[in-house]
Amino acid sequence: MIRLSDIHFRDPFILPVPVENTYYMYGTQGATAWDGKPEGFDVYRSCDLLNWEGPFPVFRSEPGFWSDHHYWAPEVHHVQDRFYMFASFKAKGMSRAVQVLVADHPMGPFELHSLGPITPKAWECLDGTLYMEKDGTPWLIFCREWLQVTDGEIYAAKLADTLDRIVSEPQLLFRASEAPWVKPNTEGGFVTDGPFLHHMNNGRLLMIWSSLGEQGYTTGIARSVSGRITGPWVHEENPLYVEDGGHGMLFRDWYNNLLLALHAPNHNPNERPSILRVEESSDSLEAK
């Protein structure tokens, strides 16, 4: 058994599977996050969020797979009876893109589901997440990278029911600089990272996402005025987490506590997964 402090992961994503009494944690391999050829994606598993087993391989690219570096931010969502992984990939001479993989179990093996990337071919995209509207309509929420547009953007596009392609034009939700807490990076760009959607108990729709703030990597909160994914979106003045940690997601434990998983600090090779308690106020979230 190992602890979170021993796991060199970025972008942690935790999938609770109650029928197995098991939490599955996916993430970006820290050792090859920036340099080198990644092996693929791994998972760790735990019954109590304290003691973990792994890593176990869940995806290894076959010869001929289009991406050769930057295997980032795998998210796994349980839809009907299958498990869908949304992950970001990059190759020399090709745009960074989101592709969908699928498996019959959280331990994989995950196989290619979409016929290549599902984000626009000419766009540098990353950090795709699945959002299901209350009527069952699936959406892909993703970032368009600051390296291409300077002021990073977050988009929403409808997905086919098969979750293997987008079926609408991407709609711009907001730009990074619209949030009052966001600061430019050293190259003058505004970063958008790691969107994740959350319905509050009172029905409000929130998005947590990450950028740079006063103390480094920061996780902020945006709220949909209409309650729908298309917004408009307004940004909370106070971020959820400011201490150089981000790319977060929210989940509930076996006792229905709302928890935030993110990585901190945001510099290699020291990044580690962290899990924090979160409470809902009347209209927002607060990390404890």
| End-to-end Cα, the chain, rounded Å | 26
Cα 117–Cα 42–Cα 48 angle in degrees, nearest 5? 125
pLDDT digits (tens, 9 = 90+) for 181-237: 999 999 999 999 999 999 999 999 999 999 999 999 999 999 999 999 999 999 999
CA nearest neighbour of 71 among 123, 110, 24: 110
Q: Does 37 score more than 90 pLDDT?
A: no
Mean pLDDT for all residues in the chain: 97
The domain limits of the chain are 4-287
Residue 226: the pLDDT is 97
- At 282, is the pLDDT very low, low, confident or very high (cuts 50, 70, 90)? confident
Q: What is the CATH number of domain 4-287?
A: 2.115.10.20
Residue 173: the pLDDT is 98
Query: Hey, what amino acid is at 149?
Result: V
Percent share of the chain, pLDDT over 70? 100
Distance from C-alpha of 287 to C-alpha of 258, rounded to nearest angstrom: 10
Using CB atoms within 10 A of its CB, is residue 107 exposed (0-12), middle (13-18) or buried (19+)? middle
Say if CB 270 and CB 22 are below 8 A apart. Answer: no
Distance set, CA 57 to CA 26, 71, 238 (Å): 10, 14, 38
- At 29, is the pLDDT very low, low, confident or very high (cuts 50, 70, 90)? very high
Q: Tell me what the mean pLDDT of segment 104-111 comes to.
A: 98
Burial readout 199-216 (b: 16 or more C-beta within 10 A, e: otherwise):
ebeeebbbbbbbbbbeeb
Residue 47: the pLDDT is 98
Distance from C-alpha of 23 to C-alpha of 193, rounded to nearest angstrom: 24
CA nearest neighbour of 232 among 165, 172, 145: 172
pLDDT digits (tens, 9 = 90+) for 117-173: 999 999 999 999 999 999 999 999 999 999 999 999 999 999 999 999 999 999 999
- At 288, is the pLDDT very low, low, confident or very high (cuts 50, 70, 90)? confident
Helix (H, G, I), strand (E, B) or coil at 130: strand
- At 95, is the pLDDT very low, low, confident or very high (cuts 50, 70, 90)? very high
pLDDT digits (tens, 9 = 90+) for 56-70: 999 999 999 999 999
Eight-class DSSP state of 4: G
